[in-house]
């Protein structure tokens, strides 16, 4: 019987990953570090997004997000077209919330050109923006639960409500998601007959869905154990890292641009800003549920008090629109955070500089800080609670 000689060495086993030497401060080298690439086609990344993870066992010791899979240089395209030509393209930024994207862009151009918006158009803007917020937050709750393994049920409940709101958008703008509805100094078209009544029915039925959603999930044991104490974001870090939207308020910072800037007609409605106490994933989930209730408080009086009147500033020109040289930064409280547009005009029909301040991208700044020390399964949940849309992250 042949014995294998000592000189022959077995070929190394095939490796699909790289093993790194563990660099621990305590000198503990009980295990190797494993570098894995999560995404870009992972279902939990909500699009084409990749994270380079370095794991110690199942604990995250390093995380670097990788962007750019959907990059189409939106800003360059915006510089090469007219001001109005960019309006339909803003729909594609955060394709869940096209109406708030429209509003942010219209607001920045109105600041640049000094246009006034008639009262009825402002009411329509508030109503459509709050409806957008409702469907975004409802779906985020569904997606988050799906990331935790609640396959189907919560997301289907949320999408059932979203369908009703999208039907309203379709009746108003002709499109369900790519609405292209706002114009500089107003809106594109008036409300169709019977739309307000239909919207009232949707809004009146919404609390029932919320009650059901909350009864199913708020005290759900799996939800609580997966989210409470996970992905902690301290208050000071949240401010310093420019985190905005529900994520910031879940860390206990009272900053809502609807209250701070009082753009549109938000100073006419009484609503509260829910704040979190712990800054973990559960707070971020609860903030969104509570914000939906506050949105309903804005929608009910808005649908009741909307006046008759013109919907576009008569001074606003559709053709030959050339603002005076100058610059303006306009921002709104989009469902995902502060959505801003920075425009520089040189007096020509195209903007000299067209910049989008994407809340989704900037909210990812502290993804690594929130994930360190957690398990891989928690990374999925933490990323879900940030609420990103890759159309906006990569632009």
Partner 1 sequence: MESLEQIKARAENAIAGARLEVILNGSPSCQHSMLVDEEHALAVARFLRDDPLLRFDYASNVTGVDWPDTVVKKIIKVKQIVDGVERELDQSVEEKKAGHLEAVYHLYSMQLNHGPFVLRLRTADRAERNHLPSLTPVWRGAEFQEREAFDLYGIIFDGHPDLRRILMWDEFKDFPMRKDYLEPDDYEYEPTPHADVLEKAQKHVKEAV
Contact flag: residue 331 with partner 1 (CB under 8 A)? yes
Q: Which of 342, 351, 370, 383 binds partner 1 (CB under 8 A)?
A: 342
The set of residues, in sequence order, having a beta carbon less than 8 Å from that of 233 and lying 6+ positions away, is 243, 247, 250, 251, 279, 280, 366, 369, 370
Q: Quick check: 117 binds partner 1 (CB under 8 A)? A: no
> Is residue 252 close enough to count as binding partner 1 by CB under 8 A?
no
The verdict on 357 binding partner 1 (CB under 8 A) reads yes
Q: Which of residues 54-73 bind partner 1 (CB under 8 A)?
A: 67-68, 71, 73
Shortest reach from residue 108's CB to partner 1, in Å: 9
Contact 216, 154 (CB under 8 A): yes
Nearest to 177 by CA among 166, 191, 164: 166
To the nearest 10 degrees (0 to 180), the angle between helices 195-217 and 281-305 is 160
Judge residue 6's burial from the number of C-beta atoms within 10 Å of its C-beta, 0-12 exposed, 13-18 middle, 19 or more buried: exposed
Contact status: 394 vs partner 1 (CB under 8 A): yes
DSSP bridge partners of 69: none
Q: Compute the distance between CA of residue 114 and CA of residue 18 in angstroms, rounded to an integer.
A: 57
User: b/e for 194-220, b at 16 or more Cβ within 10 A?
Assistant: ebeebbeebbeebeebbeebbeebeeb
- Considering only CA atoms, which of 364, 361, 362 is closest in space to residue 383? 364
Figure out which of the listed residues 35, 318, 353, 373 binds partner 1, where binding follows CB under 8 A.
Answer: 353
Give the tokens for residue 38. Answer: 């999560």
CA 87 to chain centre: 19
Of the candidate residues 52, 75, 119, 214, the single one contacting partner 1 (CB under 8 A): 75
Shortest spacing between CB 223 and partner 1, in angstroms: 30
Total residues binding partner 1 (CB under 8 A) = 44
Q: How far is the CB of 111 from partner 1 (least distance, A)?
A: 4
Instruction: In whole angstroms, give the CA distance from residue 83 to residue 354.
Output: 9
- Kindly state whether residue 157 participates in binding partner 1, applying the rule CB under 8 A: no
The least CB distance from residue 306 to partner 1, in Å, is 27
Residue 75 or 190 with smaller CB distance to partner 1 = 75
Q: What mask, x for binding partner 1 by CB under 8 A, covers residues 225 to 244? A: ------------x-xxxxxx
**Considering beta carbons, is residue 169 or 342 the nearer one to partner 1?**
342
Asked if residue 48 binds partner 1 (CB under 8 A), the reply is: no
Please state, in angstroms and as integers, the Cα–Cα distance from residue 148 to each residue in 4, 103, 223, 286, 307, following that order: 51, 33, 8, 16, 45
> By CB under 8 A, is residue 355 in contact with partner 1?
yes
Binding positions for partner 1, 254-283, rule CB under 8 A: 255, 260
Binding site for partner 1 (CB under 8 A): 67-68, 71, 73, 75-76, 111-114, 237, 239-244, 253, 255, 260, 323-331, 338, 340, 342, 344-345, 353, 355, 357, 361-362, 364-366, 394-395
């Amino acid at each position: 019987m042949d014995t294998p000689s000592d000189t022959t060495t077995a070929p190394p086993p095939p490796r699909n990953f790289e093993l790194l030497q563990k660099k621990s401060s305590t000198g503990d080298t009980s295990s190797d570090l494993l570098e894995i690439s999560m995404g870009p086609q992972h279902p939990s990344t909500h699009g084409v997004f990749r994270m380079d993870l370095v794991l110690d066992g199942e604990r995250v010791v390093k995380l670097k997000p990788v962007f750019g899979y959907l990059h189409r240089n939106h800003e360059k395209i915006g510089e090469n077209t007219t001001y109005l030509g960019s309006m339909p393209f803003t729909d594609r930024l955060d394709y869940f919330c096209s109406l708030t994207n429209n509003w942010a862009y219209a607001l920045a151009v109105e600041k640049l050109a000094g246009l006034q918006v008639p009262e009825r158009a402002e009411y329509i803007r508030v109503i459509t923006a709050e409806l957008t917020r409702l469907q975004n937050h409802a779906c985020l709750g569904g997606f988050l639960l799906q990331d935790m393994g609640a396959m189907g049920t919560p997301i289907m409940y949320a999408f059932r409500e979203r369908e009703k709101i999208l039907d309203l958008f379709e009746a108003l703008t002709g499109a369900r998601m790519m609405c292209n509805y706002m114009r500089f100094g107003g809106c594109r078209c008036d409300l169709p007959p019977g739309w307000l009544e239909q919207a009232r029915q949707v809004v009146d039925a919404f609390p029932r869905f919320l009650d059901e959603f909350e009864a199913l999930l708020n005290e759900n044991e799996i939800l609580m154990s997966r989210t409470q104490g996970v992905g902690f974001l301290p208050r000071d870090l949240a401010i310093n890292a420019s985190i905005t939207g529900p994520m910031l308020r879940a860390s206990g910072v009272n900053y809502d641009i609807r209250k701070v800037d009082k753009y549109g007609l938000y100073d006419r409605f009484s609503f509260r800003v829910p704040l979190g106490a712990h800054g973990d994933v559960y707070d971020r989930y609860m903030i969104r549920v509570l914000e939906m209730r506050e949105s309903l408080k804005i929608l009910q009086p808005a649908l009741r008090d909307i006046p008759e009147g013109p919907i576009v500033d008569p001074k606003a020109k559709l053709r030959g629109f050339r603002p005076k040289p100058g610059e303006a930064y306009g921002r709104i409280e989009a469902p995902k955070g502060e959505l801003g547009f920075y425009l520089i005009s040189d007096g020509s029909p195209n903007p000299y500089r067209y910049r989008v301040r994407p809340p989704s991208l900037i909210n990812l700044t502290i993804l690594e800080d929130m994930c360190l020390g957690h398990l891989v399964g928690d990374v999925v949940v933490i990323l879900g609670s940030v609420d990103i849309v890759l159309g906006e992250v990569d632009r």
